[in-house]
A and B are shown apart, each in its own frame.
Chain A
Amino acid sequence: NAGVTQTPKFQVLKTGQSMTLQCAQDMNHEYMSWYRQDPGMGLRLIHYSVGAGITDQGEVPNGYNVSRSTTEDFPLRLLSAAPSQTSVYFCASSYSRFNPYEQYFGPGTRLTVT
């Protein structure tokens, strides 16, 4: 299994541009989530999904959209990038929506917004 994969690894955007961060898992996990990691802030939950067609907001959802059309894929969309969205983004998955806490993380996407 490839586990959780993320693309791209690095991205530079200009303010106002849009883009989609890709995330996929091949473990048939129900639960998937997106975090951002900023220096001194730990990881903060952006959005999560308990299964295909179901998404919900986390702690810091503003400026981000998600969708879950398949079990495998959980893309994160930035509609109009802002410098405050400069961060490292991690996608994670876990086997069961009823116990989502043992999470497998992807390698991350480092995003810079200028």
Chain B
Amino acid sequence: GESVGLHLPTLSVQEGDNSIINCAYSNSASDYFIWYKQESGKGPQFIIDIRSNMDKRQGQRVTVLLNKTVKHLSLQIAATQPGDSAVYFCADKLIFGTGTRLQVFP
């Protein structure tokens, strides 16, 4: 069946550095992906989405890159802040990956 997976369960970065969270998917026909942020004790929160007709999409301090050739997408967070500490999920429409925990240290 279809699957979505993140490469690292945990990512630790220093405050101010850029963070890159990677995600792979299995279905070559997948055409819509979403990144969610989940803070401790809360539900996931929509961050940004991208459709397969795009390679890159930018939001506020976040950029998502999509490489359809290798079925890989990434979420880049610029100038990572303590408030960015959370678990980040990529989703192929309604199918969620397992999440990467981003830890930001001073």
A residues whose Cβ falls under 8 Å from a Cβ of B: 4, 33, 35, 40-45, 48, 58, 90, 92, 100-108
Structural contact, B42 and A108, CB atoms closer than 8 A: yes
Q: Within the assembled complex, what's the spacing in Å between the Cα atoms of A90 and B45?
A: 12
Interface on chain A toward B: helix, strand, loop, or mixed SS?
strand
The 5 closest A-B pairs by CB, nearest first: A105-B43, A42-B96, A43-B96, A42-B98, A105-B44
Structural contact, A102 and B49, CB atoms closer than 8 A: yes
Structural contact, B32 and A92, CB atoms closer than 8 A: no
Q: For A58, what are the chain B residues with a Cβ–Cβ distance below 8 Å?
A: 94
**Among candidates B32, B41, B45, B94, residue contacting A105 with C-beta atoms closer than 8 Å:** B45
**Among candidates A100, A107, A108, residue contacting B94 with C-beta atoms closer than 8 Å:** A100
Structural contact, A42 and B89, CB atoms closer than 8 A: yes
- Minimum distance in angstroms from B91 CB to a CB of chain A: 7
- Minimum distance in angstroms from A97 CB to a CB of chain B: 13
Q: Within the assembled complex, what's the spacing in Å between the Cα atoms of A45 and B4?
A: 14
Supply 19 further A-B pairs (C-beta < 8 A) apart from A102-B46, A105-B45.
A42-B89, A42-B96, A43-B89, A44-B96, A45-B94, A58-B94, A92-B43, A100-B94, A101-B32, A101-B34, A101-B49, A101-B91, A101-B93, A101-B94, A102-B34, A105-B43, A107-B41, A107-B42, A108-B43
